[in-house]
Amino acid sequence: MKIDKQKVEEWKKLHGEIFQIETQGKSCIVRKPTRKEYSYVSVVKNPIKAQEALLNQIWLDGDEEIKTNDDLFFAVCSQLEDVLAIKEAEIKKL
Protein backbone atom coordinates (compact mmCIF):
# COMPACT_ATOMS: atom_id res chain seq x y z
CA MET A 1 0.00 0.00 0.00
CA LYS A 2 1.35 3.39 -0.97
CA ILE A 3 0.90 6.02 1.73
CA ASP A 4 -0.16 9.53 0.70
CA LYS A 5 1.57 11.84 3.19
CA GLN A 6 -0.88 14.66 2.50
CA LYS A 7 -3.83 12.38 3.32
CA VAL A 8 -2.07 11.25 6.49
CA GLU A 9 -1.70 14.86 7.65
CA GLU A 10 -5.36 15.57 6.86
CA TRP A 11 -6.44 12.47 8.81
CA LYS A 12 -4.29 13.49 11.77
CA LYS A 13 -5.95 16.92 11.85
CA LEU A 14 -9.38 15.35 11.60
CA HIS A 15 -8.97 12.29 13.87
CA GLY A 16 -5.89 12.86 16.03
CA GLU A 17 -3.80 9.72 16.29
CA ILE A 18 -3.80 7.34 13.34
CA PHE A 19 -2.07 3.99 12.98
CA GLN A 20 -0.72 1.78 10.21
CA ILE A 21 -1.08 -1.95 10.78
CA GLU A 22 0.92 -4.29 8.54
CA THR A 23 0.74 -8.03 8.02
CA GLN A 24 2.00 -10.37 5.32
CA GLY A 25 2.79 -7.54 2.90
CA LYS A 26 -0.63 -5.90 3.32
CA SER A 27 -1.44 -2.87 5.43
CA CYS A 28 -4.21 -0.56 6.52
CA ILE A 29 -4.50 2.80 8.21
CA VAL A 30 -6.94 3.15 11.08
CA ARG A 31 -7.88 5.77 13.66
CA LYS A 32 -8.97 5.57 17.27
CA PRO A 33 -12.69 4.93 17.63
CA THR A 34 -14.95 7.49 19.26
CA ARG A 35 -16.73 6.66 22.51
CA LYS A 36 -20.00 6.28 20.58
CA GLU A 37 -18.44 3.86 18.09
CA TYR A 38 -16.78 1.83 20.83
CA SER A 39 -20.09 1.69 22.72
CA TYR A 40 -21.90 0.44 19.61
CA VAL A 41 -19.34 -2.31 19.03
CA SER A 42 -19.35 -3.40 22.68
CA VAL A 43 -23.01 -4.49 22.49
CA VAL A 44 -22.40 -6.87 19.58
CA LYS A 45 -22.52 -10.34 21.14
CA ASN A 46 -20.44 -12.16 18.52
CA PRO A 47 -16.76 -11.22 19.13
CA ILE A 48 -15.78 -11.69 15.48
CA LYS A 49 -18.67 -9.51 14.29
CA ALA A 50 -17.65 -6.92 16.89
CA GLN A 51 -14.08 -6.87 15.57
CA GLU A 52 -15.36 -6.65 12.01
CA ALA A 53 -17.67 -3.74 12.89
CA LEU A 54 -14.89 -1.94 14.75
CA LEU A 55 -12.40 -2.36 11.92
CA ASN A 56 -14.96 -1.05 9.40
CA GLN A 57 -15.70 1.98 11.58
CA ILE A 58 -12.09 3.02 12.13
CA TRP A 59 -10.76 2.06 8.67
CA LEU A 60 -9.30 5.03 6.76
CA ASP A 61 -7.44 3.32 3.91
CA GLY A 62 -5.67 0.13 3.06
CA ASP A 63 -5.60 -3.17 1.24
CA GLU A 64 -9.23 -4.33 1.05
CA GLU A 65 -8.01 -7.94 1.14
CA ILE A 66 -7.51 -7.46 4.89
CA LYS A 67 -11.29 -7.31 5.28
CA THR A 68 -11.94 -10.45 3.23
CA ASN A 69 -9.00 -12.78 3.98
CA ASP A 70 -9.40 -14.46 7.38
CA ASP A 71 -5.66 -14.76 8.08
CA LEU A 72 -5.07 -11.07 7.36
CA PHE A 73 -8.22 -10.01 9.21
CA PHE A 74 -7.32 -11.87 12.41
CA ALA A 75 -3.72 -10.64 12.25
CA VAL A 76 -4.88 -7.01 12.01
CA CYS A 77 -7.52 -7.49 14.70
CA SER A 78 -4.87 -8.81 17.08
CA GLN A 79 -3.26 -5.36 16.89
CA LEU A 80 -6.43 -3.36 17.54
CA GLU A 81 -5.83 -3.59 21.29
CA ASP A 82 -2.92 -1.18 20.82
CA VAL A 83 -5.18 1.20 18.90
CA LEU A 84 -7.73 1.02 21.73
CA ALA A 85 -5.13 1.59 24.45
CA ILE A 86 -6.61 3.76 27.16
CA LYS A 87 -4.53 6.47 28.74
CA GLU A 88 -3.81 6.06 32.41
CA ALA A 89 -5.43 8.24 35.03
CA GLU A 90 -4.70 8.82 38.68
CA ILE A 91 -7.09 8.92 41.57
CA LYS A 92 -6.28 10.84 44.72
CA LYS A 93 -8.19 10.71 47.94
CA LEU A 94 -8.83 14.21 49.24
Strand partners, 31: 18
pTM equals 0.85
For the chain, domain boundaries: 33-82
> Digits of tens for pLDDT over the chain (94 positions)?
788 899 999 999 999 999 999 999 999 999 999 989 888 888 888 989 999 999 999 999 999 999 999 999 999 999 988 888 777 889 999 9
Strand partners, 18: 31
